Chains A and B, each alone.
Chain A
Amino acid sequence: MSVSLDYFAKETATNLWRNRMMALAAILTVAVSLSLVGAALLLRQAVNRQIGEWSNNVSLQVFMDTSATTQEVAAVRSQIEQTPQITHFTFLDHDQSYAQAKVILSGEPTAIEALTPQTTPEVFRCQLQNPSDAATVAAIFNGGTVNGVLKATYPGQSIRVMQQVTSVMQIILLIIAVVLLVSSLVLILNAIRMAIFARRREISVMKLVGATNWFIRVPFMLEGLIQGLLGALVAVVVVLLSNIGVNYLVVHYVKVLSSSVLPAHDLLMTELLVVLIGVVIGVAGSSVAIRRFLDV
């Protein structure tokens, strides 16, 4: 078998080098399309994490009037305790609330300047057993029957808007990625076809002297595989670097999104998926080329 392995390696390398511009085009297209696939996948995971974070920690916030009295606050507290849908809550007084606001608004210094601890409302952060009860519960506090409440809000609407925006973005990214994946498939197919054409003499001699069909096919399969794999590896690096870049921005400038930073495990799985897609594209492209243009 050592002869065969040598032979396959040599033939594949020769094929790639002979059609290097074609191979480069195929590799780059695979790289670009897989980078988009990777980006779309990461975006989706990040958004899901961030939304999950928000909707788990706070399903409902009850903001007190800045002028609310201690009695009114205590009344709201007991009202919250009596509401069965609320499983858990935390109370932020003026100072705590102001500290939180400074974190959330860290990107907007003018907004922070406008705030003082006294003008920052106290807030009850409530967790609901079932986030879909948010509207019902919010209505209790917004109805005007509970004194001293400025407003009860729940993240439903804003999250829904964000989800819609990101899902549209994901769909667009994925459509572009699929179009590019198809074109990379065609490019790989074409590169293999040219390699087959360049070697047609050898192939006819191989058939005459009784080389098995698989022996003739393997170098071309390998060529497609390598093109897909190299493209995927470039995409892996691109996805990795952009993930690092985005995380840096999030951590330093948009702290409110900090829970969108993905754990290493999720990133690894995404990268593996990208590599897998690259390999599949390469093998599929060369298989089609072999079936259509290599008459063995």
Chain B
Amino acid sequence: MIRFENVSMTYKGSVPALRDISVEIQRGEFVFLVGASGSGKTTFLRLLLREEFPDKGSIWVAGRDIGELTQSRVPYLRRNLGCVFQDFRLLPNKTVSENVAFALEVIGRPRSVIKVQVNQVLELVGLGQKGDRMPHELSGGEQQRVAIARAFVNHPLVLLADEPTGNLDPATSQGIMKLLDRISRTGTTIVMATHDVRIVDEWRRRVIELDQGHLVRDQARGVYGTDVPTSTRGVPAVSVGVRRSDMGDDAFEDDEHVTSRIASVRARRGSR
């Protein structure tokens, strides 16, 4: 679903943000992206959205090299990538329903479809009764649910979350995590950048750790820190570096899945 091949990226006049990153994420995986501030987590996500370009290497999403996309095709890439942020990024002058509907309006969905999908997704995130509220009338957790609803309403292949629980208390964060888990089980790939030790340790998903732009750890069912006793550590998924050759066949198969999934999504979306 997502593949980084020897990706390096340096912001102008700055130290490298990512150095020679190669990693592959399968369809339906739930991945925690961890690391200190400035380790390159956000750059990782921005590269996926093609908000930035790698200096070296290539990035594949859903079987396509996104570096090859023309600028006019980038919006269509982004329709397959839902985004959630620490600061929610809701539009303050629109109601909850309007915020979610906006995501469909601006990609030209017909109104009848919008209404149905918005109601469905608000039910999914547990805000079925609050469609007419304004964002400032909601709690932080509820606002983040709206943001997730907006990111997911179009049923993207991948959901990218940049510290979605960064502004929330632990109990509310748990609620958000349960929601993301439910979305993950629909087959949506989730990449979540986070600082939240407790969540990572508790949920035990694949952990990719970045440190000053280097990929230092890639662990299935991992925990946040490396300074925990070995017995509680997860089994390493693959050793970094040999991964690609190991996964060659699987990757191909995955692309097949992806292609058929895209085809079915396209078919569902019908007229374009």
Contact = CB atoms under 8 A, between A and B. Distances in A.
B103 A209 contact: yes
Interface in A203-262: 204-213, 215-216
Given A204-B89, A209-B79, A3 B108 contact: yes
B125 to A, nearest CB: 16
A292 interface: no
B105 A3 contact: yes
B76 A210 contact: yes
Size range of the chain B interface in the assembly? 20 to 34
Contacts of B72: 212-213
A2 interface: yes
Contacts of A201: 89, 91-92
Interface in B58-99: 71-72, 75-80, 83, 89, 91-92
Contacts of A206: 102, 106
Nearest to A212: B75
Nearest to A215: B106
Contacts of B107: 209-212, 215
A173 to B, nearest CB: 44
B204 interface: no
Nearest to B72: A213
B78 A205 contact: no
Given A3-B105, A202-B91, A210 B111 contact: no
Interface hub of B72, B107, B109 (most chain A Cβ within 10 A): B107
B221 interface: no
A202 B92 CA distance: 10
B78 A207 contact: yes
A209 B91 contact: no
Contacts of A210: 75-80, 106-107, 154
Contacts of B106: 7, 206, 209-211, 215-216
A37 B154 CA distance: 51
A212 B71 CA distance: 10
Contacts of A215: 106-108
Interface hub of B77, B80, B105 (most chain A Cβ within 10 A): B105
Contact of A7 (B79, B83, B105): B105
A157 interface: no
A208 B91 contact: no
Nearest to A209: B103
Interface in A2-48: 2-4, 7
Contacts of B150: 205, 209
Contacts of B75: 207, 210-213
Given A208-B83, A209-B150, A213-B72, A3 B91 contact: no
A269 interface: no
Contacts of B89: 201, 204-205, 208
Contacts of A2: 110-111
Contacts of A4: 108
Contacts of A211: 75, 106-107
B104 to A, nearest CB: 8
Interface hub of B106, B108, B111, B150 (most chain A Cβ within 10 A): B106
B108 A1 contact: yes
Given A210-B79, A213-B75, A3 B110 contact: yes
B144 to A, nearest CB: 15
Nearest to A201: B91
Nearest to B89: A205
Contact of A205 (B102, B108, B110): B102
Contacts of A204: 89
Contact of A209 (B71, B110, B111, B154): B154
B91 A205 contact: yes
Interface in A151-202: 201-202
A211 B80 CA distance: 12
Interface hub of A1, A2, A212 (most chain B Cβ within 10 A): A212
Contacts of A1: 108
A3 B78 contact: no
A1 B110 CA distance: 8
Given A209-B107, A211-B75, A211-B106, 5 more contacts: A3-B108, A4-B108, A201-B92, A207-B75, A210-B76
Interface of B: 49, 71-72, 75-80, 83, 89, 91-92, 102-103, 105-111, 114, 150-151, 154
24 contacts: A2-B110, A2-B111, A3-B105, A3-B109, A3-B111, A202-B102, A205-B89, A205-B102, A206-B106, A207-B78, A208-B83, A208-B89, A209-B78, A209-B106, A209-B107, A210-B76, A210-B78, A210-B79, A210-B106, A211-B75, A211-B107, A212-B75, A212-B107, A215-B106
Interface of A: 1-4, 7, 201-202, 204-213, 215-216
* Closest A-B pairs by Cβ, 5 of them: A210-B79, A211-B106, A210-B78, A209-B103, A210-B75
